[in-house]
């Protein structure tokens, strides 16, 4: 089970969204976040939600998978909702002791919740439809202009792609160490938080030791294969923008214009 974790987010399919260049998809998410912060009423959110629905349909990712992405932030969602509903001043609708619910509070709470949900869905769609390795390649390409002002674009992307390679391995390693400790009577499940945290130390120490070993071995193997940073390096899979990519990007920009004019008009 633990072996599949890197693939966890990615939903394999051959949809137009999957085929889109990862750079366009990253730009798309950034633009969409901008859209969500420009919008200031529910008409705007309606437009954003409609656009997102269209994107979901095109991506062929089942709604079930998208909802799964919302689960981890459910708690945050509920907390911000409660904070907003009780903290915002306005016309009081209901009061109990120091707790009061105002019309403004309800409005803000719903408003923020919708914004957050749309934002999470849009960004999880990026990882659902793009392989991690394409994502790091896209980030490298997008950041490459910044290399001129000293941002180590290649190194950042290389670090991320190596992390992708080794995270499953380290998880397996953790699994192995835990089982070995359990076989010798270690107990990770009972006791209070402090005790449980303490019982993790014998796992973390060997894990650190082995990750340093891996790092050393890997650095040597990379050098042996003539790795010398991004300079002079070519890529087997060159990223080329196709017609659809330009079209998609144009539509995203057009939608930004729609959102801006909606805000100005209403």
Nearest by Cα to 35 from 263, 246, 266, 244: 263
Least gap, CB of 158 to other proteins (angstroms): 9
# binding residues, other proteins (CB under 8 A): 32
Q: Which two tokens stand for residue 120?
A: 């999470």
Give the number of C-alpha atoms closer than 13 A to the C-alpha of residue 253, restricted to the C-beta side.
Answer: 7
**Is residue 146 involved in binding other proteins (CB under 8 A)?**
no
Q: Is 238 in the site for other proteins (CB under 8 A)?
A: yes
Task: Kindly state whether residue 6 participates in binding other proteins, applying the rule CB under 8 A.
Answer: yes
Binding mask 152-181 for other proteins (x = CB under 8 A): ---------xx-xx--xx--x---------
Write the interaction track for other proteins spanning residues 72-111; mark x where CB under 8 A is met and - where it is not: ----------------------------------------
Is 221 buried (19+), middle (13-18) or exposed (0-12) by CB count in 10 A? Answer: exposed
Closest separation between CB of residue 134 and other proteins, Å? 10
Q: Please give the Cα distance from 90 to 128 (Å, whole number).
A: 40
DSSP letters spanning 72-104 = GGHHHHHHHHHHHHHHS-SSEEEEETTEEEEHH
Q: Which residue has the tokens 């539509």?
A: 251
Q: For other proteins, give the closer residue by CB, 23 or 39.
A: 23
Q: Contact with other proteins (CB under 8 A): which of 190, 225, 243, 264?
A: 225
Site for other proteins contains 71 (CB under 8 A): no
């Amino acid at each position: 089970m633990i072996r599949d974790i890197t693939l966890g987010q990615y939903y394999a399919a051959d949809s137009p969204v999957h085929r889109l260049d990862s750079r366009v998809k990253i730009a798309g998410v950034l633009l969409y976040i901008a859209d969500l912060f420009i919008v200031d009423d529910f008409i705007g959110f309606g437009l954003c939600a409609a656009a997102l629905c269209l994107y979901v349909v095109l991506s062929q990712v089942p709604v079930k998978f998208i909802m799964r992405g919302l689960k981890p932030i459910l708690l945050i969602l509920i907390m911000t909702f409660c904070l907003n509903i009780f903290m915002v001043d306005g016309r009081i609708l209901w009061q109990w002791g120091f707790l009061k619910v105002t019309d403004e509070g309800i409005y803000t709470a719903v408003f923020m919740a919708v914004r957050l949900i749309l934002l999470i869905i849009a960004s999880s769609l990026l990882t659902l439809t793009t392989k991690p390795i394409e994502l790091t390649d896209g980030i490298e390409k997008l950041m490459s202009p910044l290399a001129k002002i000293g941002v180590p674009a290649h190194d950042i992307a290389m670090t991320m792609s190596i992390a992708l390679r080794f995270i499953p391995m380290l998880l397996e390693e953790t699994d192995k160490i835990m089982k070995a400790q359990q076989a010798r009577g270690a107990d990770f499940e009972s006791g209070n938080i402090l005790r449980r945290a303490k019982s993790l130390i014998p796992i973390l120490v060997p894990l650190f030791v082995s990750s340093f070993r891996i790092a050393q071995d890997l650095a040597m193997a990379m050098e042996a294969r003539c790795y010398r940073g991004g300079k002079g390096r070519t890529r087997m899979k060159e990223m080329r923008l196709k017609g659809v990519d330009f079209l998609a990007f144009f539509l995203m920009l057009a939608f930004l214009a729609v959102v801006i004019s909606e805000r100005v008009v209403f």
